Amino acid sequence: MKIKLFATLKDLAQAGEISLSTAEQLTVRELRAAVADQFPPLAALMKQTLVAVNQEFAFNDDVIKAGDEVALFPPVSGGAVDPTILRITPDPIDLNRLQADITTERDGAVVIFTGTVRRFTGAEVTDRLAYEAYTDMAAAKLAQIAREMRERYADIHGIALVQRVGEMQVCEPTVAVAVAAGHRGDGAFEAARYGIDRLKQIVPVWKKETRPDGSAWIEGDYNPVPGD
């Protein structure tokens, strides 16, 4: 099934149309679940996304059949969706672009956390790091973290969660969490801290550290619990 995307959804998917593997007939509710499962960057928006079938608004119990024209888009007036950027990417992080992309006209504060490759850890020396991700699951977990951030900090607006993969050199950014809000006291600092802490807990990303005497994978010590 081919689905047309518009506005925020189009930007997150980086495409105006996606192909979904589904049964020949399904409900709108099942469509939302399938899109969230197969396209994790869109998962956080599925609850408020509008669905059109054959150019008419469709609702959760409506049935979509093979051959129907299906489109997904945010509300066309009111209830604007705040920017949400979720990426697992090999590309360098452009912090200026990231800030611009999550900042709305309501925002007077943007908090950005970045993690970088550290050369010295006590007596140990690091030459470079290589990051690997279980990409589909990692993208889904980024969407989950964004939802959790919005639930905990109701006054924040734009969110960006970006994790790089591949090889990175000393002092190079590896991860970024950015949060926009109206004022610095509206939870932006707290939400950014929560975002990076949760990312380190539940997003399946691993790093391989290369030192002068060899290389090794670095494992964490957090054990997921139900709800993670």
Q: Is the pLDDT of residue 173 over 90?
A: yes
Residue 78 domain-assigned (yes or no): no
Please count the structural domains in the chain.
2
Q: What is the pLDDT of residue 76?
A: 63
Residue 96 domain-assigned (yes or no): yes
- Does residue 95 sit in the same domain as residue 192? yes
* Residue 61's pLDDT band (cuts 50, 70, 90): very high
Q: Which residue has the higher pLDDT, 82 or 112?
A: 112
- Does residue 189 sit in the same domain as residue 159? yes
Write the CA distances from 191 to 97, 108, 133, 163, integer angstroms: 20, 16, 23, 17
Q: Is the pLDDT of residue 77 over 60?
A: no
- Does residue 67 sit in the same domain as residue 8? yes
Is 224 buried (19+), middle (13-18) or exposed (0-12) by CB count in 10 A?
A: exposed
- Does residue 163 sit in the same domain as residue 117? yes
Q: Is the pLDDT of residue 49 over 60?
A: yes
- Does residue 202 sit in the same domain as residue 155? yes
- Determine the Cα–Cα distance for residues 31 and 92; give it in Å rounded to an integer: 34
Q: What is the pLDDT of residue 52?
A: 95
Mean pLDDT score of the chain? 92
- Does residue 27 sit in the same domain as residue 117? no
Contact 61, 29 (CB under 8 A): yes
Q: Is the pLDDT of residue 45 over 70?
A: yes
- Does residue 43 sit in the same domain as residue 150? no
- Does residue 95 sit in the same domain as residue 196? yes
Mean pLDDT (whole number) for 131-154: 92
Is 217 buried (19+), middle (13-18) or exposed (0-12) by CB count in 10 A?
A: exposed
User: What is the per-residue pLDDT across 176-214, written as a single tens digit (0 to 9) for each?
Assistant: 999 999 999 999 999 999 999 999 999 999 999 999 999
The residues pairing with 218 across neighbouring beta strands, listed in sequence order, are 207
Mean pLDDT (whole number) for 135-158: 92
- Does residue 45 sit in the same domain as residue 17? yes
- Residue 36's CATH number: 3.10.20.30
Q: Which of 73, 101, 133 is the last residue of a domain?
A: 73
User: What is the per-residue pLDDT across 15-29, written as a single tens digit (0 to 9) for each?
Assistant: 899 999 888 899 999
- Determine the Cα–Cα distance for residues 209 and 200; give it in Å rounded to an integer: 16
Residue 32 domain-assigned (yes or no): yes
Q: Is the pLDDT of residue 92 over 90?
A: yes
User: What is the per-residue pLDDT across 102-120, written as a single tens digit (0 to 9) for each?
Assistant: 999 999 999 999 999 999 9
Q: What is the pLDDT of residue 24?
A: 84
Q: How many angstroms separate the first and last alpha carbons of the chain?
A: 31
Residue 226 domain-assigned (yes or no): no
Q: Could you tell me the two tokens for 199?
A: 């990312």
Is 222 buried (19+), middle (13-18) or exposed (0-12) by CB count in 10 A?
A: exposed
Residue 128 domain-assigned (yes or no): yes
- Does residue 129 sit in the same domain as residue 214? yes
Q: Which of 16, 40, 73 is the last residue of a domain?
A: 73
* Residue 3's pLDDT band (cuts 50, 70, 90): very high
Domain assignment of residue 57, given as a range: 2-73
Residue 223 domain-assigned (yes or no): no
Residue 228 domain-assigned (yes or no): no
- Does residue 207 sit in the same domain as residue 101? yes
- Determine the Cα–Cα distance for residues 155 and 163; give it in Å rounded to an integer: 24
- Does residue 169 sit in the same domain as residue 97? yes
Q: What is the pLDDT of residue 165?
A: 96
Q: What is the pLDDT of residue 221?
A: 86
What is the CA 157 to chain-centroid distance, rounded? 14
Q: Which of 10, 45, 73 is the last residue of a domain?
A: 73
Please state whether the predicted TM-score (pTM) of the whole model is above 0.75: no
